Structure 1
């Protein structure tokens, strides 16, 4: 899906996450990109659990590498766009978790 913010038009300012989320989803139209996001976010959860169980915060250094690494491969290789986190970092972080939850609930397909 094309969105004005991806077509060389000045970026749109989103006043709320509710306004931003449809744009976020349009930036994740490719199934492989969504799958890579899901894998990366699942690994982040596992890393946080490992850090807690091991009582070792050094595990947390892997979380951004895992989460963003998988997502960025999905965007650059499969979606062929710039990650939304470059444009709207906070809303994109929230969007990652919202999309993850929507995938778990079957609202978005993998």
Structure 2
């Protein structure tokens, strides 16, 4: 499945997104990266150590890109649709938290 410009809704994009995350290890690397991103954000804000926030892109993209380049062997959707991709990352995280897409 390829991403085309006529994918107007987020739901349509999410279906494309899932097609790019079929490898289980890739999905789990996304899950771990997103979990660490959430934990670091909460910790940084709670302790007022705001300088730690610069690590967020390193953690989030680091885990995801390893998943894509090493395990899934495709290009992350971030390059073409950064906002939708970020939203889809969080949706995948919560879907996995609820037991979907092991």
1:102 aligns with 2:87: no
Structure 2: stretches of 5+ with no match in the other structure: none
Query: Could you report, residue by residue, the CA deviation over 1:21-52 in whole angstroms, capped at 9, with x for unpaired residues?
Result: 11000000000000100110011011101111
The answer for the alignment partner of 2:48 in structure 1 is 55
Q: TM-score, normalised by structure 2?
A: 0.94
Identify which of structures 1 and 2 has the higher relative contact order when contacts are C-alpha pairs closer than 8 Å and 6+ apart: 2
1:35 aligns with 2:36: no
Q: TM-score, normalised by structure 1?
A: 0.88
The answer for the alignment partner of 2:82 in structure 1 is 89
Structure 1: stretches of 5+ with no match in the other structure: 6-10
1:15 aligns with 2:15: no
Runs of 4+ in 1 over 4 A off after TM superposition: none
Q: CA RMSD in A?
A: 0.9
The answer for the alignment partner of 2:59 in structure 1 is 66
Aligned residues: 101
Shift of 1:57: 1.1
d(CA) in 1 for partners of 2:27, 2:45: 27
